């Protein structure tokens, strides 16, 4: 067993990794390094219950068992990795040595180029509290640039609070991973709730008082949110020689082990790894459940020798809550050759995603958790067989 295990990133994947290291019987040193000053908390409520004022920061905290017996280095970003010496450098000047390292540094919100003060992004609890305070103080109109999951969830939360919303995206539909038909239904859902949806609309400039569209038209707003997806937090690894893909993900094998270094594993939003349901292609996903599964697996694998580690094959699953609709998806519907609604009953529907050979590769449900769970089980057993 390695003597000293270090986890970088003190959020969902990092916490689950640390817990798995201890559960697997590791009695040596366990260090968790995190750049946020907060103890680990869960992010999904940040665009939903916390933003709506139904939950507070404390409600989002993950329970951390005392038996974890970890040394927490919070508020200290890892700034460099020296793989030869097996040492991390922290922003406060400290060095932390490791035998096995688990990188779980996640992703951050993509900002507008040269984003000015007063324009919001949403990734951490401080962002969410700042956005909530702004919406409370100036509840007239919010302009949201980007109709992905975070943008759409904030739109739904704001509408529920009676705030006017303009939601702008250059794409022809919101929520691109849902495909054309379900994306159109999502668009209808937001329009039905009074969102001013501007699709196929490019943005030229963003400032604290609104958004300037290509062509010069102006959307004035009291609060502006840029919700353009996330970027992996891996710049600090640039000089380490660790393989990163073109989008900054850490390139791992199926066991979440870096392809460059057997003593380094990665977990969560930061990982690019080959998945059997994606025909073995390398994927990077930003889903809560995957980060939790990755953390648990990376923690166990970190204690094993490279040849004895197991692969992550579970089908990726996520959910999103918008108004009274729970959207759930499993597998890789966005990569499918076809996506067909196979069942519909009022506000409930199920769509199956299949590859070019007709093989089931994913499913999407609106308000049908039971059916989605069945697809999840089916895809999980297919993954085990692959």
Ligand X SMILES: Cc1cc2nc3c(=O)[nH]c(=O)nc-3n(C[C@H](O)[C@H](O)[C@H](O)COP(=O)(O)OP(=O)(O)OC[C@H]3O[C@@H](n4cnc5c(N)ncnc54)[C@H](O)[C@@H]3O)c2cc1C
The CB-of-285 to ligand X minimum distance in angstroms stands at 8
Closest CA to 221 of 186, 188, 196: 196
CA separation, residue 309 to residues 45, 136, 188, 298, 302 (Å): 33, 49, 46, 9, 8
Closest CA to 272 of 295, 255, 289, 249: 249
Both tokens assigned to 94: 């400290």
Selected binder of ligand X within 19, 233, 272, 368 (CB under 6 A): 233
Cα 64 from Cα 279, distance rounded (Å): 37
Selected binder of ligand X within 5, 30, 35, 273 (CB under 6 A): 35
The CB-of-84 to ligand X minimum distance in angstroms stands at 20
Selected binder of ligand X within 120, 123, 141, 159 (CB under 6 A): 123
Selected binder of ligand X within 222, 286, 293, 352 (CB under 6 A): 286
Cα 173 from Cα 199, distance rounded (Å): 6
Q: Establish if 64 lies at the interface with ligand X (CB under 6 A).
A: no
Q: Establish if 339 lies at the interface with ligand X (CB under 6 A).
A: no
Interaction residues for ligand X, span 297-336 (CB under 6 A): 318-320
Cα 82 from Cα 147, distance rounded (Å): 39
Selected binder of ligand X within 2, 9, 249, 333 (CB under 6 A): 9
Q: Which stretch binds ligand X (CB under 6 A): 24-32, 41-49, 211-219, 354-362?
A: 41-49
Q: Establish if 249 lies at the interface with ligand X (CB under 6 A).
A: no
Q: Establish if 242 lies at the interface with ligand X (CB under 6 A).
A: no
Identify which of residues 51 and 197 has a Cβ nearer to ligand X in the complex: 51
Selected binder of ligand X within 20, 122, 152, 203 (CB under 6 A): 122
Q: How many CA atoms lie within 13 A of 103 on its CB side?
A: 35
Cα 320 from Cα 258, distance rounded (Å): 30
Cα 179 from Cα 177, distance rounded (Å): 5
Residues near ligand X, by CB under 6 A? 8-14, 33-36, 43-44, 46-47, 77-78, 104-107, 122-123, 150, 233, 236, 268-269, 286-289, 291, 318-320
């Amino acid at each position: 067993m390695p003597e000293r295990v270090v986890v970088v990133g003190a959020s969902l994947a990092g916490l689950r990794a640390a817990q798995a290291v201890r559960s697997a019987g590791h009695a040596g040193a366990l260090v968790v390094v995190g750049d946020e000053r907060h103890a680990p908390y869960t992010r999904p409520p940040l665009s939903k219950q916390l933003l709506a004022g139904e939950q507070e920061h404390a409600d989002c905290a993950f329970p951390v068992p005392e038996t974890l017996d970890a040394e927490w280095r919070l508020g200290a970003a890892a700034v460099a990795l020296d793989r030869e010496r097996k040492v991390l450098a922290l922003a406060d000047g400290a060095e932390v040595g490791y035998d096995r390292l688990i990188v779980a540094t996640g992703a951050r919100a993509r900002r507008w180029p040269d984003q000015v003060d007063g324009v919001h992004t949403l990734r951490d609890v401080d962002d969410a509290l700042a956005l909530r305070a702004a919406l409370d103080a100036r509840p007239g109109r919010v302009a949201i640039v980007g109709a992905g999951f975070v943008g759409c969830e904030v739109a739904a939360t704001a509408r529920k609070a009676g705030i006017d919303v303009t939601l702008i995206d250059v794409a022809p539909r919101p929520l691109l991973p849902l495909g054309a038909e379900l994306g159109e239904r999502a668009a209808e859902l937001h329009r039905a709730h009074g969102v001013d949806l501007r699709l196929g609309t490019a943005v030229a400039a963003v400032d604290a008082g609104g958004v300037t569209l290509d062509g010069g038209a102006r959307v004035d707003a009291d609060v502006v949110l840029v919700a353009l997806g996330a970027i992996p937090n891996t710049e600090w690894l640039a000089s380490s020689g660790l393989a990163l893909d073109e989008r900054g993900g850490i390139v791992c094998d199926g066991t979440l082990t870096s392809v460059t270094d057997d003593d380094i594993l990665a977990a969560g939003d930061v990982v690019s790894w080959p998945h059997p349901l994606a025909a073995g292609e390398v994927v990077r996903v930003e889903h809560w459940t995957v980060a939790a599964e990755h953390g648990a697996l990376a923690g166990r694998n970190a204690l094993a020798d490279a040849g004895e580690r197991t692969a992550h094959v579970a089908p990726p699953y996520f959910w999103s809550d918008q108004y009274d609709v729970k959207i759930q998806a499993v597998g890789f519907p966005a990569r499918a050759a076809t996506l067909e609604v196979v069942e519909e009953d009022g506000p409930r529907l199920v769509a199956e995603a299949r590859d070019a050979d007709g093989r089931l590769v994913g499913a999407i449900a609106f308000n049908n958790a039971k059916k989605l769970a069945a697809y999840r089980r089916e895809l999980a057993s297919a993954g085990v067989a692959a």
